[in-house]
């Protein structure tokens, strides 16, 4: 496996552990549709959360969350709706979150931006 993909994998792994620690229940990972992919789908208090994970090794090119562009958000939206249509379970609410992970001065920071689009 390429090192870049490995780094992405590591980011998603870290994000999962972080969410579990925060009391989320992981439902699916890497859910794919014709429109795109959702990194993590999790549940909490009867709601469903679609999580996009962004990891970067440096802040030289801006924060990772800045890379979740409008186009990316639309892809995630469409995929999420497909998931909801095919899902047998009914949810009270759904949200879209971004978890950004970056390494700054040798320190790994996890930043969970809730309900952001």
Where does this chain bind another protein (CB under 8 A)? Answer: 62-63, 65-66, 68, 98, 113, 116-117
In angstroms, the CA 3 to CA 68 distance is 22
Shortest reach from residue 114's CB to another protein, in Å:
8
In terms of CB distance, is 25 or 116 closer to another protein? 116
In terms of CB distance, is 110 or 113 closer to another protein? 113
Cα Rg of the chain, angstroms: 14
3-state helix, strand, coil in the chain (%, to 5): 35, 40, 25
Neighbours of 76 (CB within 10 A): 22
Shortest reach from residue 68's CB to another protein, in Å:
6
In terms of CB distance, is 16 or 68 closer to another protein? 68
Q: Using alpha carbons, list the distances in angstroms from residue 96 to 16, 47, 116.
A: 15, 11, 6
Shortest reach from residue 66's CB to another protein, in Å:
4
Q: What tokens were used for 11?
A: 């980011």
Shortest reach from residue 77's CB to another protein, in Å:
14
The distance of Cα 59 from the centroid of its chain, to the nearest Å, equals 19
In terms of CB distance, is 58 or 86 closer to another protein? 58
């Amino acid at each position: 496996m390429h090192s870049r993909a490995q780094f992405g994998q590591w980011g998603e792994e870290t994000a999962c552990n972080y969410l579990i620690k925060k009391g989320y229940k992981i439902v699916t990972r890497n859910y794919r549709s014709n429109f795109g992919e959702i990194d993590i789908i999790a549940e909490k208090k009867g709601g469903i959360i679609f999580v996009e994970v962004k990891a970067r090794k440096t802040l030289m090119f801006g924060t990772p969350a800045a890379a979740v562009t409008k186009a990316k958000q639309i892809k995630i939206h469409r995929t999420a709706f497909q998931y909801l249509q095919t899902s047998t379970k009914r949810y009270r609410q759904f949200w879209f979150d971004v978890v950004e992970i970056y390494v700054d001065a040798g320190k790994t920071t996890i930043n969970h931006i809730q309900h952001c689009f």
